[in-house]
Amino acid sequence: MAETTFMGVPRDQIPWFPTIDYDKCTFCMECDTFCPHHVFERREGDRPLAIANPANCVVFCRACAKTCGPDALSFPGKPETIARIKQIREGASSK
Amino acid sequence: MKRAILSCNGLDKPEGSVAREVAIRGAEATGAEIICPVLLNRAPARYRKALADSAVTVVDGCSTRCATRLASQLKANVERKVLVSDAVKGSGQALESTLALGPNGVALARRIVEELVRNLSAPAVAGEPAAEFETPVEYLAVTHDKFEFRIPVVDYLFNENDVWVRASDGVARVGISDYMQQKLTDVSYFDPPKVDSGVEQFGELGSLESAKAVFEIISPVGGNVTAVNRAAIDNPALVNEDPYGAGWLVEVKLTHWPEDQELLVDAAAYAGIVQRKAAEE
Ligand code: SF4
Ligand code: SF4
């Protein structure tokens, strides 16, 4: 899915995806069960959950964080992300 | 209409203890019947009548939202919702870490119930819709398997988060697309943004819930919320029945419309996005 774009910007250049706070996460797997986009991945070992496909995450979605009881998921700020997207778009159009 | 309270029983987290306290105090203050989630699970018939006849206030302790999920499974008529973990954040005061309620927990429960009672007696301000919009007549259709997703050809712009906007005279009406409506399945609750609050483009304009998902309404525009659709709050099924018309959600007075449009797409481009999303599922 390398060609996927969001607002005309290659998706993998937009740093929008959840970050797991492993001090808070209880590995209840609610987030993984909820998200249909295979952003999370279950693994063996003492950290059985990881962000495997960050570029699959829907830019500006934060829905999984709303299913997380211990509040262990965080996202970048929206204004910074929008500024970044605009910057890349302007860079691309001035080329 | 009668009232009922369906709450998280909260035996494993301090937020849950507060939820339970809110249910008890709320029931005393409003005369509502308490629906015990454990008994509901075990013997649903016990509450069949209460669920059929009552407007339900749902109280969740944490974002796992067990009570909300029970309510949507049972297709309860949800009137108000409380999420204790959000209330804790909003209160600026941490809860005691014990399961037995401490003074902070009791104080928070009391405040939540006071607000609930205020809200129930004076329904949230919906504002006056400013614009009259005619229902779209011409649609593009994107088909995938046996599904068909409709997209109005003119007047509507979209963001890639499946929210549409239609503007007229400096005011925009916002709602979700047919594609998103079908993806959510039956919408059971519309949590509207506050009237008179400001919103930035791609900020949040409340949320929609179904048994399947919680959907944050990502604003396609920046401005001030001037009205929310009272009819969609009372009857969220409108969002499924008529997502581009009677099921609109919010009106926003526009402050940055020319710039906002640069980050929105028209019907043809949105059709391409829907096609791609549907294929990826
Ligand atoms: S929902 Fe939260 S606590 Fe549960 S696995 Fe995901 S990040 Fe961890
Ligand atoms: S933000 Fe949305 S798309 Fe991204 S991981 Fe969470 S639920 Fe999935």
For testing the chain A interface, which of B60, B214, B217, B221 should be mutated: the one with the most A CBs within 10 Å?
B214
Residue B141, token pair as written in the block: 């259709």
- pLDDT score recorded for residue B213: 79
**Is A50 in CB contact (< 8 Å) with chain B?**
no
pLDDT greater than 80 at residue B193? yes
Q: What is the pLDDT of residues B27-51, one digit of tens each?
A: 999 999 999 999 998 998 999 999 9
Reduced 3-state DSSP string for chain B: CEEEEEECCCCCCHHHHHHHHHHHHHHHHHCCEEECHHHHHHCHHHHHHHHHHEEEEEEECCCCCHHHHHHHHCCCEEEEEEEHHHHHHHHCCCCCCCCCCCHHHHHHHHHHHHHHHHHHHCCCCCCCCCCCCCCCCCEEEEEECCEEEEEECCCCEECCCCEEEEEECCEEEEEECHHHHHHHCCEEEEECCCCCCEECCCCEEEEEEECCCEEEEECCCCEEEEEECHHHHHCCHHHHHCCCCCCCCEEEEECCHHHHHHCCECHHHHHHHHHHHHHHC
> Which of B85, B201, B207 shows the shortest C-beta gap to A71?
B85
Q: Is the pLDDT of residue A35 over 70?
A: yes
| Mean pLDDT across A54-83 | 91
Contact flag A7-B202 (C-beta cutoff 8 Å): no
What is the predicted pLDDT for the residue at B124? Answer: 60
For residue B207, which residues of chain A lie inside 8 Å, CB to CB?
66
Q: What pLDDT sits at residue B64?
A: 83
Please state, in angstroms and rounded to a whole number, the distance separating the CA atoms of residues B275 and B277.
6
Flag if A28 and B263 touch (Cβ within 8 Å): no
Q: Decide if pLDDT at B126 tops 50.
A: yes
A22 contacts chain B (CB < 8 A): no
Return the ligand number nearest the Cα of A34.
Answer: 2
Among A41-45, A90-94, B28-32, B163-167, the least confident range: A90-94
pLDDT of residue B280: 79
pLDDT in tens, B54-86: 999 999 998 888 898 888 888 888 888 999 998
pLDDT, tens digit, for every residue of B146-182?
899 999 988 999 999 999 999 988 999 999 999 999 9
Q: Is the CB of A72 under 6 A from ligand 1?
A: yes
Contact B18, B61 (CB under 8 A): yes
- Please count the other Cβ atoms lying within 10 Å of the Cβ belonging to residue B130: 15
**Does the pLDDT value for residue B116 go beyond 50?**
yes
Q: Indicate if ligand 1 lies below 6 Å from the C-beta of A20.
A: yes
Helix (H, G, I), strand (E, B) or coil at A22: coil
The CATH architecture that domain A5-93 belongs to is 2-Layer Sandwich (3.30)
Mean pLDDT of A28-54: 92
Return the residue whose CA atom lies nearest to atom 6 of ligand 2: A64
Kindly provide the ipTM of the predicted complex, given to two decimals: 0.80
Q: How confident is the model at residue B123 (pLDDT cuts 50, 70, 90)?
A: low
Say whether A63 and B216 touch across the interface (CB within 8 A).
Answer: yes
Domains of chain B, each with CATH number or no CATH: 2-120 (3.40.50), 139-280 (2.40.50.100)
Name the percent of chain B lying above pLDDT 90.
68
Query: What is the pLDDT averaged over residues A14-18?
Result: 95
**Among the ranges given (A24-28, A50-54, B71-75), the one the predictor scored with the smallest mean pLDDT:** B71-75
pLDDT in the model for residue A3: 60
Torsion sign over Cα B86, B233, B198, B206: positive
* pTM for this entry: 0.81
Q: Which ligand is nearest to the CA of A20?
A: 1
Residue range B244-273: mean pLDDT, rounded: 94
Task: Pick the residue of B12, B63, B162 with the most A CBs within 10 A to test the interface with A by mutation.
Answer: B63
Question: Does B160 sit within 8 Å of A6, measured CB to CB?
Answer: yes
Asked whether the beta carbons of residue A78 and residue B63 sit closer than 8 angstroms, the reply is no
Please write the tens of the pLDDT for every residue from B4-24: 999 998 788 899 999 999 999
Is B161's Cβ below 8 Å from some Cβ in A? Answer: yes
Q: Give the pLDDT confidence score for residue B226 in this predicted structure.
A: 94
Nearest ligand, CA A40:
2
Residue A2 has pLDDT above 70, yes or no: no
Look at A69 and B218 and tell me if their CB atoms are within 8 Å: no
Q: Which atom of ligand 2 is nearest to the CA of A75?
A: 1
Q: Flag whether pLDDT at A56 surpasses 80.
A: yes
pLDDT confidence band for B134 (50 / 70 / 90):
confident
pLDDT band, very low/low/confident/very high, at A94 (cuts 50, 70, 90): low
Quick check: A86 pLDDT over 70?
Answer: yes
The predicted pLDDT at position A1 comes to 44
Q: What mean pLDDT comes out for the span A75-85?
A: 92
Using the Cβ of A77 and the Cβ atoms of chain B, whether some distance falls under 8 Å is answered with no
Chain B CB contacts of A69 under 8 Å are 13, 62-64, 85
Residue A93 scores a pLDDT above 50: yes
